[in-house]
Amino acid sequence: MKCAAGLALLLGLAACATVGDRAPRPHERAFPDGFQPPLSKATGQPVYGWGGRWQPPASADKDSPSRTPILFIHGNTEDATYWEDARRWFLDAGWNDDELWAPSYGWASTDRFDVNDLAAPTLDAFVDEVQRYLSRKSGRPIRQFDIVAHSLGVTAVRQWLTQSNRWHQVRSFVAVAGANHGVWTARPDARGPSRASSFELHRGSPWLAQLNAGGEVAGAMRTMTLYDGTGRYDALFPSGYEDSPALAGAVNVAFNREARGWDGGYNHLELPRQPATLAVIADFLRAGHEPLPNATAPTLVRDGNILRAVPADARLHCTGQGRYPDAASTPRVTVTLPAGAWLTCYAHSAVSGLSSPMARLAASGSPPDPAPPQLTASPEPGPYAQPVNLRLRASVPDALIVYSTTSGEPDSGSALYRGPIHLPAPVQLTAIAITPDGRRSAPLRLRYDISLAYDEALHSLQRQLDPDAPLPDRDRP
Amino acid sequence: MKRWPALACIALAGPAQAAIVFTPHVSEYAVLPRGTYLDTTVAHASIDRIWDADGRKVALGNTAIPPGEAIDATLLLGRYLWIGNLFEDSGLPFLADHDQVLRVIGTAGRQSASGAINDLSRDFGQTSRGTGLGDVFLLAGVYGQQYHHGPLHGNGLYTLTVKAPVGSFRRDSLLNPGTRYWSVMPQLSHHQDWFGRLSIEATAALQINSAASRTAYGGLTPSKPASVFNLEANFAWKFSARWYAETGISHYRSLGSNRYDEVSLNRADQPVPPTAACTTLLVPADQCGLLDVFYLAPVPGSYRDRGIRNNIVTAGFSYVYRSSAVASLRAALPVAGRGSQFMVPYHVCASTPCNADSELPAARQTARLSGVQEAAAISASPYFELRLVFLLFAP
């Protein structure tokens, strides 16, 4: 590296340090050549962040990554540099550059808070790109990731998994101090730049109810939560909220309560960045089954109303009533689909460590009407000042409605429409209806701009003086 | 009979606004989320007692003012705080990964004195009112390394404050919201948290003062205020996410003496009748009988006090509203102190102008004067403080 001698002298800096020694910076795309950072849904710009062998010399190791890569997902108003301590710790612990990635999915500013519904599609695109890059680099498919998320990153990841039906691509998920059941500082009547995340994450919010409705863990993904638990150290989860980050069905570690005792505890920002907690996280990740590199992922095969898994060593995990099956669900070789009810299933191979995507299926009878179902929505798409409860209606009564707010087309395993969808933040949503015999409606693409700007425009001084002053365009696509 | 030569007893007070500005509250020095904060503090004191140079509590004006007289001082502080990192993309060591703090503090004061104090001031051609905008403080700092040892964790905060003397200032006023000297205040602060319950803020600050470009109240504000050392600690107990109780101590002392080069305080109505001059000024009997009137004038010179100090204990509580606002109510009680007092000789003359050439032989008198305003006068009366903090980004 060329040394900026004058500047270094002037500022007394270590400006001559090699690039390889330095940490990624907040507004830096510290990614290797050939990696195309996706656009952030929040900022409209390519995401900042770090990952891969971004520092020269480029990695020439064709076998890298040799273990499941970790994605670090930061919390509200933070950015990827939040994970610098974790990055160094994992490098020291044996992970290599190709196995560590972190996007900055938002604004990293308290002037513009992050929002789960905007973070989810950004994460979806980022995972796609890491997968594409690493698969091309290593010459073999990279099918699974580990995820370590913090705070709003936890709920953003859970929303991404729900919306994208990519549970099978996450081997282990460590959720640190996430507001899974609400956070003390969020309020349903919030105002200002934090209002969207506040609408999402206040206790009892419809958004969280949607997120948790199908079960708090799903698929073969191993899940661990790590949080304060004392109500004292993490200011976001005081008494009454101390177990909000726990997830039913996960390995829940109230770290300060269980492990620290009189040794004190770590606060909200410290929890995922301390050697003691990083060791717990790493142990959990190491205990995961490393997927066989060239194995075929299981699939669900339907013969009439009989469901089985391929390959033969794979087993089915199914549940009814709209709940997600998880690793604790009874594994079966075959399942007979019941009439008049939907099952949610995935196939998992203990040998390969791989799973199929989630799918919802029902026994099919003779269709009374072979035409595809129709799907309608209300209220109409457009800008709204306040959160919207979106109602979807299928023309076929026993049709299943699924939707996705990530970029992909929904499939039967995507988020299930259980009632009006609470939209507290800007979303682009695609919904389809599926009948028990497999007929699908045309995708219904909807864009709702639940906009602070719109709210402010409604209440501007100009509109107080002139009620006919123009508002943002309701008809924009 | 009005005892005009209460010259020796001019002992009044002005609020020590610097002490109020920097006395810490809960998490004042903790690493806080990046963003913009606004806070406003209203401090009110009814000052009826001050500390004298010997550390005794004395009434305002000492014997020259009847009991029950007081100065009411209300100080309003408006503070804008920004926390962020201007250098995060620079790669500068330390600064790149330690957030910075910028703070602007504007002040305003409303101060008034009760009747006898006004009368006394008028006797000396001065006023006792001072209302208007005060000085402006600009602070820049950087957080230190955060550490964690067992049950305690904390961080440092290193700041430099500059006080710009732009507040309103009248040369004849006992109570001025502003000053006429610059101050630079390097400050080392520390936040510590124990078991997530007890929050400790501690700070040491040095206030380095420039010479004053102007003095007030007949030169009873220092022309060269001494530098001041300030040591404070605040202990807050967290009962719940919303309620805190806190108690604190503050030690404030000058390093060396205040210097007074422009003492001109003098009785407005001169000449002085012989009865008063002879009995109170102890003019020799032979001169008393010879003259009808006497004139007074302070001997020009550079005078110094013995420095000032003040020890205060505070107690209060804080309530967090909606997670975006904090209200704190606090009382402060001075427990020990020393005010600025110094001896000034006065010429006693038979004619005007009164000076060394015209003074009467053996008639020179020495008066014990008290310095006034924030660099000199130390209130011994409690004050009360209401503080509201707004987090502009919070829900």
Task: Please report the pLDDT score of residue B237 as a whole number.
Answer: 96
> Measured between CB atoms, which of B34, B152, B241 is closest to A238?
B241
Task: Please report the pLDDT score of residue B13 as a whole number.
Answer: 52
Q: Which two tokens stand for residue B307?
A: 């420095």
Q: If phi over 0 gives left and psi between -120 and 50 gives alpha, with beta otherwise, what is residue B392? A: alpha
Average pLDDT over residues B280-298: 79
Task: Please report the pLDDT score of residue A52 as a whole number.
Answer: 95
Hey, what amino acid is at B299?
Answer: V
Give the 3-state secondary structure of chain A. Answer: CCCCHHHHHHHCCCCCCCHHHCCCCCCCEECCCCCCCCECCCCCCECEEEECCCCCCCCCCCCCCCCCCEEEECCCCCCHHHHHHHHHHHHHCCCCHHHEEEEECCCCECCECCCHHHHHHHHHHHHHHHHHHHHHHHCCCCCCEEEEEECHHHHHHHHHHHHHCCHHHEEEEEEECCCCCCCCCCCCCCCHHHHHHHHHHCCCCHHHHHHHCCCCCCECCEEEEEECCCCCCCCCCCCCCCCCCCCCCCEEEEHHHHHHHHHCCCCCCCHHHCHHHHHHHHHHHHCCCCCCCCCCCCEEEEECCEEEEECCCCEEEEEECCCCCECCCCEECEEECCCCCEEEEEEECCCCCCECCCEEEECCCCCCCCCCCCEEEECCCEEECCCEEEEEEECCCCCEEEEECCCCCCCCCCEECCCCEEECCCEEEEEEEECCCCCECCCEEEEEEECHHHHHHHCCHHHHHCCCCCCCCCCCC
How large is the ipTM?
0.82
Contact criterion met (CB < 8 Å) for B88 and A27: yes
β-pair partners for B149: B152
Tell me how close the Cα of A203 comes to any Cα of chain B, in angstroms: 14
Contact criterion met (CB < 8 Å) for A187 and B148: no
Give the Cα separation of A155 and A197 in Å (integer). Answer: 10
* Cα dihedral A382/A386/A388/A389 (nearest 10): -160
Beta strand pairing status for A251-254 and B383-391? unpaired
Whether B288 is in a domain gets the answer no
> Are the beta carbons of B178 and B131 closer than 8 angstroms?
no
B240 pLDDT higher than 50: yes
Helix (H, G, I), strand (E, B) or coil at B148: strand
What are B99-144's pLDDT values in tens digits? 999 999 999 999 888 888 888 888 889 988 789 999 999 999 999 9
Average pLDDT over residues A14-36: 74
B393 pLDDT higher than 50: yes
Task: Please report the pLDDT score of residue B300 as a whole number.
Answer: 95
CA distances from B246 to B235, B317, B329 (A): 5, 6, 10
Which of A83-87, B90-94, B181-185 shows the lowest per-residue confidence on average (mean pLDDT)?
B90-94
Give the Cα separation of A448 and A387 in Å (integer). Answer: 9
Using beta carbons and an 8 Å cutoff, which residues of B are at the interface with A? 33-36, 85, 88-89, 91-93, 96-97, 146, 148, 150-153, 193-197, 238, 240-241, 322-323, 392-395
Domain coverage including residue B42: 6-260+307-339+371-391
Q: Which two tokens stand for residue B369?
A: 């004067």
Which of A192-196, A324-328, B75-79, B200-204 shows the lowest per-residue confidence on average (mean pLDDT)?
A192-196
β-pair partners for B232: B203, B250
**How does the average pLDDT of chain B come out, rounded?**
88
Task: Please report the pLDDT score of residue A377 as a whole number.
Answer: 97
What are B167-178's pLDDT values in tens digits? 999 999 988 999
Q: Is the peptide bond before B271 cis (omega within 30 degrees of 0)?
A: yes
What are A433-460's pLDDT values in tens digits? 999 988 999 999 999 988 777 667 666 7
Average pLDDT over residues B32-46: 90
Q: If phi over 0 gives left and psi between -120 and 50 gives alpha, with beta otherwise, what is residue B307? A: left
Task: Please report the pLDDT score of residue B364 as a whole number.
Answer: 86
Query: Predicted confidence band at B10 (pLDDT cuts at 50, 70, 90)?
Result: low
> Who's near A313: CB < 8 A, 6+ residues apart?
A349, A350, A351, A352
Give the Cα separation of A471 and A387 in Å (integer). Answer: 18
Give the Cα separation of B330 and B245 in Å (integer). Answer: 10
B62 pLDDT higher than 70: no
Return the closest-CA partner of residue A415 out of A120, A180, A131: A120
Query: Predicted confidence band at A366 (pLDDT cuts at 50, 70, 90)?
Result: low
Please give the residue of chain A at the shortest CA–CA distance from B85: A26
Count of residues making up chain B: 395
> Who's near A28: CB < 8 A, 6+ residues apart?
A48, A50, B89
Q: Count CA atoms within 13 Å of residue A85 on its CB side.
A: 15
Whether B277 is in a domain gets the answer no
Q: Count CA atoms within 13 Å of residue A433 on its CB side.
A: 17
A346 pLDDT higher than 90: yes
Residue B108 exposed, middle or buried by CB count within 10 Å (0-12, 13-18, 19+):
middle
Share above pLDDT 70 across residues of chain B, in percent, rounded to a whole number? 92
CA distances from B308 to B62, B165, B232 (A): 18, 21, 16
Give the Cα separation of A315 and B350 in Å (integer). Answer: 117
Query: Predicted confidence band at A18 (pLDDT cuts at 50, 70, 90)?
Result: very low
Residues of B in contact with A186 (CB under 8 A): 395
Q: If phi over 0 gives left and psi between -120 and 50 gives alpha, with beta otherwise, what is residue A163? A: alpha
pTM for this model (two decimals): 0.88
Helix (H, G, I), strand (E, B) or coil at B54: coil
Domain count, chain B: 1
A2 pLDDT higher than 80: no
Q: Count CA atoms within 13 Å of residue B366 on its CB side.
A: 4
B8 pLDDT higher than 50: no
Q: Where do the structural domains in chain A lie, given as residue ranges?
A: 20-286, 299-362, 375-465
Give the Cα separation of A152 and A120 in Å (integer). Answer: 11
Residues of A in contact with B152 (CB under 8 A): 264
Higher pLDDT, B13 or B253: B253
> Are the beta carbons of A100 and A145 closer than 8 angstroms?
no
Other C-beta atoms lying within 10 Å of the C-beta of residue B152? 15
Average pLDDT over residues B341-359: 90
Task: Please report the pLDDT score of residue A205 as a whole number.
Answer: 96
Hey, what amino acid is at B327?
Answer: A
Residues of A in contact with B244 (CB under 8 A): none
Q: Which two tokens stand for residue A209?
A: 């109810």
What number of C-beta contacts closer than 8 Å exist between A and B?
91
Residues of A in contact with B96 (CB under 8 A): 25
B260 pLDDT higher than 90: yes
Task: Please report the pLDDT score of residue B294 as a whole number.
Answer: 86
Beta strand pairing status for A70-73 and A145-150? parallel
Tokens 């020495």 belong to B366
> Are the beta carbons of A396 and A373 closer than 8 angstroms?
yes
Handedness of CA A232, A235, A239, A245 (dihedral sign): negative
The DSSP 8-state label assigned to residue B286 in this structure reads H
B81 pLDDT higher than 50: yes
Instruction: Tell me, yes or no, if the two domains A20-286 and A375-465 fold the same way.
Output: no
The DSSP 8-state label assigned to residue B299 in this structure reads P
The DSSP 8-state label assigned to residue B219 in this structure reads T
Which of A297-311, A382-396, B357-371 shows the lowest per-residue confidence on average (mean pLDDT)?
B357-371
Q: What angle do CA B72, B76, B81 make, to 5 degrees?
A: 160
A467 pLDDT higher than 80: no
Domain A375-465 is of which CATH architecture?
Answer: Sandwich (2.60)
Contact criterion met (CB < 8 Å) for A270 and B92: no
Task: Please report the pLDDT score of residue B12 as a whole number.
Answer: 56
β-pair partners for A415: A403
A13 pLDDT higher than 90: no
Whether B65 is in a domain gets the answer yes
Helix (H, G, I), strand (E, B) or coil at B393: coil
CATH number at residue B182: 2.40.160.40
Give the Cα separation of A474 and A451 in Å (integer). Answer: 12
Contact criterion met (CB < 8 Å) for B91 and A15: yes
Whether B348 is in a domain gets the answer no
Tokens 């008809």 belong to A475
B348 pLDDT higher than 80: yes
Average pLDDT over residues B210-225: 95
B17 pLDDT higher than 90: no
The CATH classification of domain A20-286, taken from the options 3.40.50.2300, 2.30.140.10, 3.30.1330.10, 3.40.50.1820: 3.40.50.1820
Q: What are phi and psi of A199, to 5 degrees?
A: -60, -40
Which of A107-116, A198-207, A297-306 shows the lowest per-residue confidence on average (mean pLDDT)?
A107-116
Average pLDDT over residues A230-234: 92
> Are the beta carbons of B342 and B51 closer than 8 angstroms?
no
B9 pLDDT higher than 50: no
Residues of B in contact with A190 (CB under 8 A): 395
Residue B131 exposed, middle or buried by CB count within 10 Å (0-12, 13-18, 19+):
middle
Contact criterion met (CB < 8 Å) for A190 and B148: no
Return the closest-CA partner of residue B203 out of B214, B192, B218: B192
Q: Which two tokens stand for residue B160?
A: 């430099």
CA distances from A454 to A40, A377, A422 (A): 21, 22, 18
Tell me how close the Cα of A80 comes to any Cα of chain B, in angstroms: 12
Contact criterion met (CB < 8 Å) for A192 and B392: yes
**How does the average pLDDT of chain A come out, rounded?**
89
Q: What angle do CA B251, B255, B256 make, to 5 degrees?
A: 135
Query: Predicted confidence band at A3 (pLDDT cuts at 50, 70, 90)?
Result: very low
> Measured between CB atoms, which of A26, A194, A233 is closest to B393?
A194
Contact criterion met (CB < 8 Å) for B196 and A109: no
Q: Count CA atoms within 13 Å of residue A311 on its CB side.
A: 10
Q: Which two tokens stand for residue B354?
A: 């009164």
Tokens 């000053």 belong to B179
Q: Which two tokens stand for residue B109?
A: 């004061």
Question: Rounded to an integer, what is the distance from CA A428 to the centroid of its chain?
Answer: 16
Using beta carbons and an 8 Å cutoff, which residues of A are at the interface with B? 11, 13-15, 22-23, 25-28, 77, 81, 84, 109-111, 113, 184-187, 190-195, 198, 230, 232-233, 235, 238-239, 256, 262-267, 270, 274
Residues of A in contact with B36 (CB under 8 A): 110-111
A15 pLDDT higher than 90: no
